[in-house]
Amino acid sequence: MTIAIGDRLPEATFKVRTPEGLKDLTVRELTAGRRVVLFAVPGAFTPTCHAKHLPSYLEHLDALRAKGIDEVACVAVNDAFVLDAWSKQGGCDGKITMLSDGNATFTKAIGLDFDGSGFGLGTRSKRYSMLVDDGVVKALNVEESPGVMEVSGADRILAAC
Q: Which residues are catalytic?
A: 49
Nearest to 155 by CA among 48, 71, 64: 64
3-state secondary structure of 15: strand
The answer to whether 113 touches 127, Cβ cutoff 8 Å, is no
Residue 29 buriedness (CB in 10 A; 0-12 / 13-18 / 19+): exposed
